[in-house]
Amino acid sequence: MKVSMRGILFLVFVACLGGCASSGVRVTGGTDAESLGVQSETAATTSFSGGVHRIIVAYNDETNSQATIQYTSSTRQVLHGASLMGWSYSNDDGVTWKYGGKLTPPSEWAVLWGDPGLTTSRRNYGMVFMSNLAFPEAKFPAGGHSGYVDASVAGGACLFRSLDGGVSFKFFQCLSDRSPVPGSTSASKGHFYDGASLAAGPGGEIYASYVDLDTSQIVVYRSADGAQPFAPIPLPFPGYYVGSHPRIQVGPDGVLFAMAVGKQSSGPNPSYMLMASRFVNGAWGNVTLITQALTYPDVDLGSSLLGSNLDLRTGPQFSFDVGTQSDVVDDSVRFLVTQRNGAGWLFVRGGVCNYTLTSCGWYAGWTFGVDTVRGQESQRIDVFNPNVVAFPGFFFGIAPRWQGSFLTRYGNSTSTLNLTRATLGYVNGMPFTIPVDIAQNQPLCPDQRGYMGDYDAHLVVRVDSNSVRFTRFMTDATNGCVQRWYFTSRHQHVRAFSYDY
Amino acid sequence: MIKSLSPFALTILLICLVSCQSVGSGPAPTAREREVEATSSVALTVEPTKTDQTVPMLKQLRRVDTGGDCAPRYKHGGMGACVNKAPCRGFGAMNDRGQILCTCYGDIGGCGEAQRCDEKKLTCVPDEEPPFNRPR
């Protein structure tokens, strides 16, 4: 077969475009050390330091952890000094990534155990805070801990600070509540914190929040300027039962917003509600009930891999951001929340709140997946793990952006996921959106518990004169799935998918 | 080499190079997607569906230390409580009338025999079910 030069060039062009469009960029897994360990579950931020604009991504990092985290096919032994607190950064807008390193537990703390949080000071763009859950020495057995992580060993969180824009970090402070909880023998050695959400205010203040599983409350700590130590502020949802990770954001005027999922009703089919509150002038306002929500649904992919069922456990099933409102209505808070339809499929709803949170609601036009199964769907669709990102649009007259992203599973039996984005927007005054896959058929490799990273980051990474670049991270199993043990699997690495909008 | 390429080939290569300059970037928005405004410039024609703010949420009962040595142990770690000298698959709490009772986040009486009280799902789950949603 004779192929012309023109034909060859056309094929190269198509291949080039296709390759650029969907493959993403490998963040971890490119070196032998990274490849031997797993990295997943991301938090990300950007910084500016020494004339360099930088993207930083933290993740649960088992690079070079073989000496302190030991597995058999059915067990996991965590030894003193173990750390999952690793990160990578990019100095070229995400084209290439460099491994940042691994932080070691500070004095009086035995283990740093992931669930990363990251934020950058809005007064000093070189100041970056990173958070991980932590095991206090007082709870940690001398011979190490075997099996699941629970209140018997987890007892707080530790924050590290970078003053060079995320290239290096030093220990800043650990956060722990040792007040006794009636009925708990372990709380007085440090309450069991889980999840992490960090945010920065315009005055230089830094917030760190967690769910306290000993008290079923969201706890929030504040540093006034990133130099003074963090101290707790009042509880945003007192009196409610809260089980989800929190998410927090700070508005342009310094108002702190918090959302979490609380329990609404008991019984064999309990219901849960997404709740929101604002911290203004040293006090939280009324709690606003937004809409129905879920707590950590598992996703059964209807298939098996390496001899085990392919199930995925999930992270917090809501996200929100605070950004620019429409000309005609105050929709300056927008959210996505996962719900379950009558057939048990997961779908994502989008909606808005006004800035004061006195009015919230969802739009049918911002529904992703199937909210009502009408019997015409030939294949199951599950949509979950949503993220929302706002770009305020104040640079050089660039218009505001509102982006959402989520994972999508197509098919009654599948072993892959798509990563999808969408503008949370309007056409002619109607809420309207067009979902676009930014990654398709991404292979999976969860461990036998279903773990493959519970949540991922989505953020603005670059602003040009006419476009805004967004990056959404995702766990990467494109190196192949060669091992699925109970507490670990290979390969799990971090991949970044970027797009301009 | 460049000189030997036709203008068409050169154009193709340049486009290719430019398109790949930002490695990994997704497809550009379509014209139809560009019609979607992130912020509406005209009055909205629909109202968002709102949640009734008067529907009550479960209120936390005050936890109490109930002592005793009859607390059941869960299969995958952790334990319940011993409330009023009876095993409780949940925790002890005091209601508005000052009564001490066993509850699992509003499920009065706690969980059934083959269940445990899960602090993240805030409800009773099968004791066999591993605590998947604990940290890593």
Count of CB atoms situated within 10 Å of the CB of A284: 18
Start-to-end C-alpha separation, chain A = 41
Q: Is the pLDDT of residue A2 over 60?
A: no
For chain B, positions 11-50, list CB contacts with chain A under 8 A. 12-13, 15-16, 19-20, 22-30, 32-33, 35-50
What are the tens digits of pLDDT across the range B31-77? Answer: 888 899 999 999 999 999 999 898 899 999 999 999 999 999 999 88
**Hey, what are A108's tokens?**
């009086």
CA angle A272, A436, A377 (to 5 degrees): 65
Which A-chain residues 361-380 have CB contacts (< 8 A) with chain B? 361-365
Q: Is residue A322 within 8 Å of residue A371, measured between CB atoms?
A: no
Task: Determine the pLDDT at residue A419.
Answer: 97
User: What's the whole-model pTM score?
Assistant: 0.92
Average per-residue pLDDT for chain A: 94
Interface with B, mutate which of A6, A26, A97, A326 (most B CBs under 10 A): A326
Amino acid B134: pLDDT: 57
* HSE-CB of B26 using CA atoms within 13 angstroms: 25
Chain A CA closest to residue B82: A183
Q: Among A194, A351, A424, whose Cβ lies nearest the Cβ of B135?
A: A194
Q: Is A69 exposed, middle or buried (0-12, 13-18, 19+ CB in 10 A)?
A: buried
Mean pLDDT over residues A240-266, rounded?
Answer: 97
The verdict on ipTM greater than 0.90 is no
Distance CA(A151)–CA(B77), nearest Å, equals 10
Give the full edge-to-edge strand order of the sheet including B100-104.
B62-63, B91-94, B100-104, B107-108
A188 pLDDT band, cuts 50/70/90, is very high
Best mutation site among B14, B32, B37 for testing chain A: the one with the most A CBs within 10 Å?
Answer: B37
At A37, which amino acid appears? G
Please state the φ and ψ torsions of residue B45, each to the nearest 5 degrees. Answer: -95, -5
| CB-CB contact of A81 with A450 (8 Å) | no
Domain boundaries, chain B: 62-126
The DSSP bridge partners found for residue A346 are: A340
CB A186 within 8 A of CB A151: yes
Q: Crossing angle of helices A5-22/B7-21, nearest 10°?
A: 10
Q: What is the pLDDT of residues B74-105, one digit of tens each?
A: 998 889 999 999 999 999 999 999 999 999 99
Q: Is the pLDDT of residue A101 over 80?
A: yes
Please, what are the domains in chain A? 26-233 (2.120.10.10), 297-501 (no CATH)
> Residue A295: which of B22, B23, B120 has the nearest Cβ?
B120
